[in-house]
Amino acid sequence: MFKKKLQKMLGVVLAVTMMGTLALTGCKNSDGNDAGDGGSDANAGQDASKPTVTLMIDITGFAPLNAATQMTLSKFPEYNIVSKQWPAEDLTKTIKTTFASGGNESIDIAFVACRQLQNYKDADMLLDLTSYLEADPEWKASMSESMWEAATIDGKIYAVPWQAAYPVMICNNDILKEAGVTMSDDMSYDELVAAAKKLKEAGYAPFGIEGGVASWVLKQAYLNAFDTEEEVIAFCNGEIPFTDPRVKAAFDKAAEVFTENYFYLDEGALAATTDEITSGFANEKIACIFSTNSAAKNIIETTGIENYTIMGMPTFSNTGLHNLLGAPDVYFVPANVQNEEETIEVLKYLTSTEVMQAMVDGGAVVANANVDTSDEFYAMVSKDLDRVHVLDPVHLSDEIADYLNVSAHSEYIYNGEAVLEKLEGMRQKLQ
Amino acid sequence: MNTKKGSASVWIIRVFLIVMAVFSIFPLIFAFYTSFKNNQEFYQSIWALPETLHFENYSNAFVVGKVGEYALNSIFIAVVSLSVTIVFAVLAAYALSRLKIPGAELILVLLILIQVLPTESLIIPEYMIVSRLGLLNVKYAAMIFPYIGWMLPGTIIILSNFFKTIPVELIESARIDGATEMTTMRKIIVPLMKAPVATCLVFDFCFVWGELMWAQLTTLSRTDGLPLSIGLLNFKGMYSTEWGQLTAAICMIIIPMYVLFIFTQKYFIAGLTAGGVKG
Amino acid sequence: MKQKKVQGYQRLTGYLFMAPAAVMIIVFMIVPLLWNVALSFCSWNGNSSVEFVGITNYLSVFSEATTLVTLKRSVILALTATSVSMLLGMLYAFLLYRLRKKEQSFFRFVFFSPAMLPMTVTGLLFVFVLSSNGLLNALLSLLGLESLQHAWLADPNLALWVLGIVQGWKGCGVTMMLCTTAILSLPDSLYECARLEGANYWQQVRIIMLPLIKPTLKLQLSMTVMSSFKSYDIVYAMTKGGPGEFTYTAPMKIIQLGFTFNEYGTAAALGTVLVLLASFFVIAARFALRGETYEY
């Protein structure tokens, strides 16, 4: 009897709450439409008088971008700057959908890893920034040439690099000491394997990498698969066939380290998630993990490993070359930008030394050459910038890019040489 | 109604169900106790219970995920889209099952089939439509209208299925007494449909409450009218996720769903005894 | 004469009742669908003008091994997920019916809760459960079944089945709810005869309940088949289509073709093929459960 009453009351309460909410939000709605409502500006959907610039670059908890966004918001009160969270997985869908619909909505500034830039360029969705850069030489000079190289397609510059990202190897020194192993920047493949064997005998997983970027191992292998740098460049430009024995040797090495179970989770290594790797490293089961240089600080803090060394990713080759794969993150402007002039102004500010310095203080390794890099940790995660080799065969076509970045590596482990023939077929299509 | 409740076979059933229940409730419990850990603790040991209770995860999550602000939006969107969906669906389902529409069976099958296309295939044309109709300029509208369109087929199918179990005689007798269709609906159908409608409410609410992709797309240059699911995005860092805070936010967000579910249970309990009415 | 008038009036009311729903469905579901079908005969990169290319896209869908195999994977996933979801859901519904009201409510809540939890958390959880050194393998070694240990989500041959089982488990709550709702609407009087003749519960289930809730089963089977063909979130959350592209299902391929390769025409063609394939299975399922429907 009482229960029924209680339920009835609950129903009434719920109904009243909903009515109240409806009324409240209804009021809010009409308030937002009132002109000249100064108080709730932050909540207003759009302020028709000011040009809107939508940024999609902020990431909660990532201090460098938080700082950049905050500084931009206060610097441009004359614009209506809307800041959205950067969605790693849905960015392409968001940009391409708003683009395709041809409406008034647009994302004005976003960022991607430069290797995904080609994807947008192929659909002609990028704003050509070359003329703006030529008009402002100081802006152009603030980043190094190799950084701009990453953002250049067919001779035109389509994006502005801001973060110099490359993979590093974070080693747990305690484990290395216990197993009697040393790791160094310029280890050859054979030395690497020898060290890995010793680590396995001591009961540790020698390496750990997130399954989704396991192709880094392959990239390191093929970027260093030749005897001279000229040949590497030729390979990246599609002049050397994928069925070349040196390329095959690179693929073999990249496959071997996984089939020999040198990577954490053994058979499950290719499906390892970031969380599993972080957990394994925190529990001191993995000797060395591979990660992006900008993530290093976060990893050290989260896993609590105190005795560590950070160095650039090894080359997985025996040729003595020293290339390091790198994919700088770049800001780009979609071609359907609404307020072009204002957006470029905001973009310039975002990549100015002032903002970049704030990002360095937040722990990012930036592309701006004018920043003060005296912080010790920063030095550690940025010292390999010179080795970064941006040119890569993935620039040849979308198909090759997707295949090499995502599936070639794991498919090679299961299907062997058929993968090389497939790649060669893709390369032939372009001849 | 059914055989004795205390017999041995029932106990076997209970044991089996309890074992299965452990598996089913485990994710929820996992989310709950992870919400009290900080990230470091989490990675040290995924499965262990938290050593110290980090209550600040909840307050941080509330702020970072903007739970307070977004909750109102989500509630509004849910209430409006669900009310409209249920009303339209009840009418349509009744028509399809009892009002001799030619080709009703075919229409129902078609309603199932049109839902196959993955949402991601639909977003481009959908966005174009919403943009051309000017819905993007009205707060909430760009989300509510498509949601209604997406929820209707499923809801209509479920409801019409249950309409069919209502004996024709009941309806016929009302018609003979001179009742219009609307009165028939109100006085006879609606009371009998409490359980199916409650079921649809729960399914549809869960959909609206958790939908992210479309919500994100339609609120690109807005800072208002954002639902809770977008708030969850704020926890995904660049290279890692704040699992403690994310699970705290999720625990807060799922409460309305669970409350709604429990609240609708009484219609099921009522159904247990009302079964006799029809006999 | 009056009969016809009554029928006519009914039909008119019927159309009127359906109108609002029809408008919403046509604008927000059918138009996009038709747009997709139209696009499947064209070539478009999301920005340039749309060119008509006839059936080239369809030919490419069937000739590209990587694309065709995603359809096969979708079928495997759909069949596994549907079986698990239907069988488990029905089992729960029938078992629950034996218990007291309070217990029923409790168990209903517990078994439906996985469906209400966001995919982010469920994905995280299952990755750690199914990991090579995760909970499942640990449990197996505790039970002395070490030989059964696998890299559940990394083995290309295994991952898809595992994903299907997880998806089925997540969706069984819906089946359970619908079956329960159906069972609840069966009047008591039906059971009296059976009880008088001394039938036990399971006989009652087989002879009375199952045939009577067949329409609901048919409905739920169609819906489950349909939604498991379209699933994207679960696969993406647990394996991102990996390792490599070994667990890429058709919806993921559609996204890749469209948003990564800028080939929206081919993506639309694959989408249309998927709809036809799923329709085939849905109709097959309905055919399998054909028969009379009963009123009570």
| Predicted ipTM of the assembly | 0.86
**Interface membership of A52 toward B (CB under 8 Å):** yes
**HSE (side-chain half, CA atoms, 13 Å) at C179:** 28
Q: Is the pLDDT of residue A26 over 50?
A: no
**Calpha distance A245→B63 (Å, rounded):** 57
CATH superfamily of A167-324+396-430: Periplasmic binding protein-like II (3.40.190.10)
Q: How do the pLDDT tens digits run along chain B, 279 residues long?
A: 444 556 788 888 889 999 999 989 999 999 999 999 988 888 888 888 888 888 999 998 888 888 888 999 999 999 999 999 999 999 899 888 887 788 888 898 899 888 888 888 888 899 999 988 888 888 889 999 999 999 999 999 999 988 887 777 777 777 777 767 667 667 777 777 888 888 899 999 989 998 888 998 888 877 888 998 888 888 877 777 888 888 999 898 888 888 888 888 877 666 544 443 343
- Cβ contacts of A273 on chain C, cutoff 8 Å: 127
Q: pLDDT tens digit string along B187-221? A: 777 777 888 888 899 999 989 998 888 998 888 87
Instruction: Kindly list the domain boundaries of chain C, sorted by start residue.
Output: 59-288
Provide the pLDDT confidence category of residue A62 given band limits of 50, 70 and 90. confident
**Interface membership of B273 toward A (CB under 8 Å):** no
**Interface membership of A179 toward B (CB under 8 Å):** no
Choose from B67, B194, B239, B264 for mutation: most chain A CBs within 10 A: B239
Provide the pLDDT confidence category of residue C294 given band limits of 50, 70 and 90. low
CA-based Rg of chain C, rounded to a whole angstrom? 23
Task: Retrieve residue B22's tokens.
Answer: 């452990």
CATH number listed for the domain at residues A50-165+327-389: 3.40.190.10
- Cβ contacts of A293 on chain B, cutoff 8 Å: none
- Closest chain A CA to residue C236: A89
Task: Retrieve residue B267's tokens.
Answer: 């219609």
CA distance A193 to chain C (A): 23
**Calpha distance A300→B67 (Å, rounded):** 30
Computed over every residue of chain A, the mean pLDDT equals 83
Q: Would you state the pLDDT for residue C161?
A: 92
Q: Is C240 left (phi over 0), alpha (psi -120 to 50) or beta?
A: left
Provide the pLDDT confidence category of residue A48 given band limits of 50, 70 and 90. low
**Structural fold of domain C59-288:** MetI-like fold (1.10.3720)
Query: Are B5 and C109 an interchain contact pair (Cβ–Cβ within 8 Å)?
Result: no
Q: Would you state the pLDDT for residue A40?
A: 35
Provide the pLDDT confidence category of residue A116 given band limits of 50, 70 and 90. confident
Tell me whether domains A50-165+327-389 and A167-324+396-430 share a fold: yes
Which residue stretches of C64-155 are H helix? Answer: 65-96, 101-116, 119-129, 135-142
- Cβ contacts of C125 on chain A, cutoff 8 Å: none
Partner chains of B (3+ C-beta pairs under 8 Å):
A, C
Q: Which residues pair with A171 in a beta bridge?
A: A288, A309
- Residues sharing a CB contact under 8 Å with residue B249, sequence separation 6 or more, in sequence order: B61, B62, B64, B65, B67, B231, B232, B235
Amino acid identity for residue C61 in this structure: V
Q: Would you state the pLDDT for residue B1?
A: 44
The DSSP bridge pattern shows strands A109-113 and A52-58 to be parallel
- Cβ contacts of B112 on chain C, cutoff 8 Å: 222-223, 226, 282
Size of interface A-C (CB pairs under 8 A): 93
**Calpha distance A364→A357 (Å, rounded):** 9
- Cβ contacts of A123 on chain C, cutoff 8 Å: 45-48, 262
Size of interface B-C (CB pairs under 8 A): 286
Q: Is A79 left (phi over 0), alpha (psi -120 to 50) or beta?
A: beta
CA distance C119 to chain A (A): 14
Q: pLDDT tens digit string along A168-188? A: 999 999 999 999 999 988 889
Q: pLDDT tens digit string along A73-99? A: 999 989 888 898 888 888 888 898 888
**Structural fold of domain B30-278:** MetI-like fold (1.10.3720)
Q: Mean pLDDT throughout C272-292? A: 89
Q: Would you state the pLDDT for residue C182?
A: 86
Q: Would you state the pLDDT for residue A68?
A: 92
**Calpha distance B121→C271 (Å, rounded):** 7
Looking at the partner chain, which of B39, B131, B239 has a beta carbon nearest the beta carbon of A101?
A: B131
Tell me which of A2-16, A62-76, A329-343, C141-155 is least confident: A2-16
Question: In three state form, how does the secondary structure of C72-86 look?
Answer: HHHHHHHHHHHHHHH
Looking at the partner chain, which of A54, A87, A292 has a beta carbon nearest the beta carbon of B239?
A: A292
CA distance A366 to chain C (A): 27
